[in-house]
Amino acid sequence: MVLTKEYRICMPITVEEYRIGQLYMIARHSHEQSDQGEGVEVVANAECEDPEHGKGQFTEKRIHLSSRLPYWVQSLIPKIFYVTEKAWNFYPFTITGNCSFIPKFSISIQTKYENNNGSTENCLNLTEEQMEAREVDFIDIAYDDMNPKHYKETEDPKFYKSAKTGRGPLVEGWRDDQDPIMCSYKLVNARFEVWGLQTKVEDFIQRCIRDILLLGHRQAFAWVDDWVEMTIDDVRVYEEEMHSKTNDKMKAALDAAVDVESSGAATPKTPTLSGSSKGPSTPATPITPKSPSQEAKSWFSWS
């Protein structure tokens, strides 16, 4: 049984505003979190088209992990580890999938955004079987507990007030009467089909995803004055600039890790999907994105 959760994250902005805020937040957050070879490397970011969903934006990223994982997970994987994330953004609907070189491990996410407070019972048009299998989890960006190491008072919605929009601080019960308000509905399937570890790992994955969603959406609101006046063209330029800086940071950190390995330290080589012993690097030529319908169905679960 795949562990399936539907997260509902409300924001004091509109769906139209969130389109800009989400892109800004992801680019800035990825850059801030990319350090010591542990972060996000952007491999592709290009327009795409799908027969069902129309035109959209395709991104492919390598999410580098290592010492950020708990010890019991580190014991199962190589010293330097990454997963690949592919995403198709047909706003206000997106599809995301993750894969890695660990067999029988995958994550798939379907997302849709609506201008409400999370009141739509079947926003993602799930089957009756899918609705029975899911667990709905409301994430409150202001009052849910978060990891203390990521806490910043300047990014706390309970205290933050936007100078440009006048929104905030968010008081207890804010989702009942906030205007404007939108909700991100995210259906997350986590699959790790290894006997004896499936439940523990899938639960750990879902907790990690929840923590990321909470932090990212808090930041998107706390940074609203930085992005609220941007156009889609402005934020695409910002994305490119931040992706370039992030990739440079990641490359330097990964090269340093390879140098340590070459010097004789007991660090295992980085296993990569391409087989390179030096670890991943950004391709020199653009990747032509496939649509979700063109991807192999075996790549990640749609159930």
Rounded Cα distance between 247 and 37, Å, is 10
Rounded Cα distance between 116 and 184, Å, is 9
Other C-beta atoms closer than 10 Å to the C-beta of 18 total 22
Name beta bridge partners: 187.
Answer: 6, 110
Q: How many Cα atoms occupy the beta-carbon half-sphere of 225 within 13 Å?
A: 12
Would you list the DSSP string of the chain?
A: --EEEEEEEEESS-HHHHHHHHHHHHHHHHHHH-BTTBSEEEEEEEEEEETTTEEEEEEEEEEEESTTS-HHHHTTS-SSEEEEEEEEEETTEEEEEEE-SSTTEEEEEEEEEESSSS--TTTT---HHHHHH-EEEEE-TTTS---GGG--GGG-TTT---TTT---PPPTTHHHH-SS-EEEEEEEEEEE--TTTHHHHHHHHHHHHHHHHHHHHHHHHHTHHHHTT--HHHHHHHHHHHHHHHHHHHHHHHHHHHHHHHTT-SPPP---TT--TT-----SS---PPPGGGS-TTSS---
Q: What pTM, to 2 d.p., does this model score?
A: 0.81
Left, alpha or beta for 54 (phi > 0: left; psi -120 to 50: alpha)?
left
pLDDT, tens digit only, all 303 positions of the chain = 678 999 999 999 999 999 999 999 999 988 887 765 567 788 899 999 999 899 999 999 887 765 556 666 656 555 556 778 899 999 999 999 876 656 677 889 999 999 999 999 999 999 999 999 999 999 999 999 999 989 999 999 999 999 999 999 999 999 999 999 999 999 999 888 878 888 888 898 899 889 989 999 999 999 999 999 999 999 999 999 999 998 888 787 777 766 665 665 444 333 333 233 333 333 333 445 666 655 433 222 222
- Looking at residue 186, what is its pLDDT? 97
Identity of the amino acid at 251: K
Q: How far is CA 88 from the centre of its chain?
A: 12
**250 neighbors 64 (Cβ within 8 angstroms):** yes
Left, alpha or beta for 180 (phi > 0: left; psi -120 to 50: alpha)?
beta
Rg of the chain over all Cα atoms, to the nearest angstrom = 19
Give backbone dihedrals phi and psi of 87, rounded to 5 degrees, phi first.
-140, 140
**7 neighbors 210 (Cβ within 8 angstroms):** yes
Please enumerate in sequence order all residues whose Cβ is within 8 A of that of 272, keeping only pairs 6 or more positions apart, or say none.
101, 279, 280
